[in-house]
Amino acid sequence: MKAMFLILLVVLSLATVADSETNAPVSTNAIPVLTNTAPVAVVPSPSAVPAPDPMVGKSLMALGMVLQSAKHFRCQVTFLINSEMEGMKQEISASYALTAERPNRLALRFLKGMTGNTVVCDGKKMVTYAAALNRYEEKEAPRSFEQFTQGLGPMSGNILFVDNLLRDDIYAAIMDGVIKASYAGKVTMDGQECDHLKFEQDQFDWELWVSSGVKPVVVQVVYNMAKSFTVPGGEPVPAKGMKMMVLNRFSEWEIDGTLPSDAFEFKPPPGAHKAESLFEGDDEESPVRPVPVEPEVDVKTNATLLL
């Protein structure tokens, strides 16, 4: 959870450049490229994880047990970023389909919204496709889910919360960087009973809704980035009209169901160019391709947002 602040700043700065300097869409998935050096898994020690409210621990441990013991799972993920500054408002949104199968097969496919990257790994090779460039690259597959999330792995610092759900210890991953955790009770969301959890970190606060059924899953995550913005002297910038809210919604969960035969197959779109490096190469050979932008993402919730 520590990488959220920097990733969001990159996303918003890229989107601002796209709006002001070019009509070309910009990737908002912020997925770093995996290097040839295998990253080292780093899991917080138990002493580094604060003891939360017992109900928080119970909910997170149940979530971790379900996803860590599952052979495979899939769902859809939508993110929505709303930011305001001095009367100006900006909204970024996109949707993805996630399919994951242990130990190292994964597909995170961009569906709609502001253009983003697709990552597909069949267990032997990993393909990262940039829709804005209509270009893709192939790398050796990470050996495990843990490597997807560590170092320069493709899910490291991912703003969809997906990185936490791929860890060997999901509880420790979610609690990494948390200084306070509290239980806010049970609420009904999308027709299902959920545990509402609240967390505080140094640079942002956030909330998590986890279904409380037999197989708990993540339903929604909301980040309040207000305290991340400060000016010299420590005065909070939000008082000057600057604020940011990030909402991630998860839906259509399926755990250990039947996967389609092509779940981890990448089929290059028409005209797609294979390159040695995703963001390097002959621009004339791989022109920027217009990508349809959805005007908005249908995000429905009866939960109160932070901002």
Q: Name every residue whose Cβ is closer than 8 Å to that of residue 217 and which is 6 or more positions away in sequence.
A: 63, 66, 67, 75, 210, 211, 250, 253, 255
Whole-prediction pTM: 0.77
- 243-269, pLDDT tens digit by residue? 889 999 999 999 999 999 999 999 999
State yes or no: cis peptide before 103, omega within 30 of 0.
yes
Find where tokens 């990494």 sit.
176
- Helix (H/G/I), strand (E/B), else coil: 283: coil
Strand ranges of the sheet holding 218-224, from the earlier edge strand across to the other edge: 178-189, 192-201, 205-211, 218-224, 243-255, 72-85, 88-101, 105-113, 117-121, 125-130, 135-140, 273-274
Average pLDDT, the chain: 77
Domains of the chain, first to last: 4-19+54-113+158-271 (2.50.20)
Tokens of 113: 């919204």
Q: Give percent above pLDDT 90 in the chain.
A: 52
- Alpha helix (H) residue ranges in 54-188: 54-69, 145-149, 162-165, 170-175
Rounded distance between C-alpha atoms, residue 84 and residue 55, angstroms: 34
Tokens of 253: 């969960």
- 21 pLDDT above the threshold of 50: no
- 181-225, pLDDT tens digit by residue? 999 999 999 899 999 999 999 889 999 999 998 999 999 999 998
Rounded distance between C-alpha atoms, residue 127 and residue 122, angstroms: 9
